[in-house]
Structure 1
Amino acid sequence: MPTALEIEKSLFDLAPRAGAMDWDNVGLLVGDPAGEIHRVLVALDATPSVADEAIQKGCELIVAHHPIMNCRWLPVQSLRDDTPQGRLLRKLTRANISVICMHTNLDVAEGGVNDVLAHTLRLEDPGPFLDDGLGRIGHLSMPMALRDFAAQVSELLGSNGVRYADAGKPVFRVAVGGGACGEYADAAVAAGCDTFVTADLTYHAFLDAAGKGINLIDGGHFPTENPVCQMLQSFLQKQFPSLSIKKSTSHREVIQYYVKGE
């Protein structure tokens, strides 16, 4: 059976480490590189519920998108059961579960987060958006009203709802950025897009959208990135046919929307 290190190498063939931003933390972050792997659980995040699911399913490895620990926003200074991060890491190590995380390197990789998002939203001829490889630009088969496209985005991503701002344009040329890519709205305008789909947009981003002449759709961080998990599952199953590879059923969107009048 393959080792955790061999699976990490295969994932780096898909999304090379060099593609990760300099602050990022990717690769085998928890576990024994030489440990044999029989069962893998794929999830967007290695959360406590995902760890419990991996234990219940007898998995030795979790493959996730977001780093389980990152020196930029969540430095590891202690390993204690009375902190959320320490409790999770101790749970994983007690159960001998390894964790591999592919983050910004998977965002920019060909066939990665943003290609999967563009495909999921049915964009035609998607191509590069930014010089660093983030995002994609494509077009619809025919123009749509923004409200109709927003509803379609919500349905295709399986989200609980989306937020959007209307610049008074039909939707045709669309930029996408999985996760928090709101800072690239100006680049979408410069690229001639009428619509930008991303996540974690601020109040001021929506406020400025009409003046910039671009429709904005916030599809949610989890919904815009989660489709890549299916791709990772398929990729790993093809690379390692002998493994049992499952996509997490416990990890899902946690943000709910209350709509006035419902």
Structure 2
Amino acid sequence: MATVREIYRYLDGLAPFSLQMDFDNAGFLVGRGDRQVDKVLVSLDITQEVAAEAAGLGCQLIVSHHPVLFFPAKSITDADPTGRTLLALAEGGIAAICAHTNLDAVSGGVNDALAQKLGLTQIEQLKQDGVDASGRPYGIGRVGNTAGVPMYAPAFAAFVKEALGANGVRFVDARRPVRRVAVGGGACADMLKDALAMGCDTFVTADVKYNGFLDAKALGVNLIDAGHYPTEQVVVPVLAKWLADGFPKVEVLTTQAHKEVFSYL
């Protein structure tokens, strides 16, 4: 077994929490640090359903990407979804560690997993934000090249949908063959010009606003919005593997209760 604190320190070595962006609230957010853990559940989010799943499985810890507590709480009651989730965790003795923008930025994290899932090669950083205490570069987004005969945006968008298991995608077709692709898991549409500066003809991200599509069309970049969940769910197996490798005596499970929240008609 291991303690919650030991697991937190291990994850901090792989994706330092000090690298999180200013607005973020990643870290050890719920529970007791000395709690012994023999089962951990990994999920993109911690919802009421995930908390109930963890309790049913006998897990003492949930490790997620999105923070279960993002804004300062003035109260924790059963009057709202966040309060009910936090109460379920506390009453069930279940701790929560959430690795968010730090996991987006580090090597091997969200964006490397996304680039690899899309079969990109010669992967490099889209934008380097700095180096960590060990001298390792970090930054949001990745860039890579496609293999084989280049596709155009409609065919590549269909491939992205299939590869990520997305319920649907939205895209702008710039009528350019897809050869060099930037990826930004989650809401990274504001990095469109960074993708262009890196010589990309295509950008895959999520949560694109209307103006983002207009900008892509004007700039001549294929833009594919594949959804927040599909572009970041790719990191759940990565987290599970990290934990299994670091703590072989701890049983690591991945959620079956949490899926994409919306559908397309």
Q: Is residue 138 from structure 1 mapped to residue 135 from structure 2 by the alignment? A: no
Q: TM-score, normalization: structure 1?
A: 0.96
Q: Output the CA distance in 2 between the equivalents of 1:209 and 1:128.
A: 20
Q: Output the CA distance in 2 between the equivalents of 1:212 and 1:185.
A: 9
Residue 123 of structure 1: aligned partner: 120
For residues 8-157 of structure 1, the aligned pairs below 5 Å read 8-70=8-70, 74-132=71-129, 133-142=139-148, 143-157=150-164
Verify the 8 A CA contact 1:168 1:215 in the aligned structure 2: yes
Corresponding residue to 1:228 among 222, 235, 244:
235
Deviation for aligned residue 1:245 = 0.6
Q: Output the CA distance in 1 between the equivalents of 2:22 and 2:153.
A: 36
The DSSP-based 3-state class of the residue aligned with 2:115 is helix
Deviation for aligned residue 1:145 = 1.6
Q: Is residue 192 from structure 1 mapped to residue 196 from structure 2 by the alignment? A: no
Q: Output the CA distance in 2 between the equivalents of 1:232 and 1:207.
A: 35
The DSSP-based 3-state class of the residue aligned with 1:147 is helix
Q: Output the CA distance in 1 between the equivalents of 2:156 and 2:80.
A: 42
Paired residue type of 2:214: L
Q: Give the aligned length.
A: 255
For residues 246-261 of structure 1, the aligned pairs below 5 Å read 246-258=253-265
For residues 198-237 of structure 1, the aligned pairs below 5 Å read 198-237=205-244
Deviation for aligned residue 1:189 = 1.1
Q: Output the CA distance in 2 between the equivalents of 1:232 and 1:44.
A: 10
The DSSP-based 3-state class of the residue aligned with 1:81 is coil
Verify the 8 A CA contact 2:152 2:175 in the aligned structure 1: no
Deviation readout 1:199-235 (Å, 9 max, x if unpaired): 0001111122121110000010000000100011111
Deviation for aligned residue 1:75 = 2.4
Q: Output the CA distance in 2 between the equivalents of 1:255 and 1:121.
A: 22
Verify the 8 A CA contact 1:168 1:210 in the aligned structure 2: no
Q: Is residue 179 from structure 1 mapped to residue 176 from structure 2 by the alignment? A: no
Deviation for aligned residue 1:151 = 0.7
Residue 245 of structure 1: aligned partner: 252
The DSSP-based 3-state class of the residue aligned with 2:33 is coil
Deviation readout 1:146-172 (Å, 9 max, x if unpaired): 111111101110111111011111111
After superposing on structure 2, the runs of 4+ consecutive aligned residues of structure 1 that deviate more than 2 Å are: none
Paired residue type of 1:121: L
Q: Output the CA distance in 1 between the equivalents of 2:24 and 2:215.
A: 30
Counting aligned pairs with the same residue, the percent is: 49
Paired residue type of 1:195: T
Verify the 8 A CA contact 2:153 2:174 in the aligned structure 1: no
- Listed as ranges, the gaps of 5+ residues in structure 1 are none
Q: Output the CA distance in 2 between the equivalents of 1:17 and 1:83.
A: 28
Q: Output the CA distance in 1 between the equivalents of 2:244 and 2:188.
A: 30
Q: Output the CA distance in 1 between the equivalents of 2:185 and 2:40.
A: 24
Q: Output the CA distance in 1 between the equivalents of 2:246 and 2:121.
A: 28
Paired residue type of 1:231: V
Q: RMSD value over aligned CA atoms? A: 0.8
Deviation for aligned residue 1:107 = 0.4
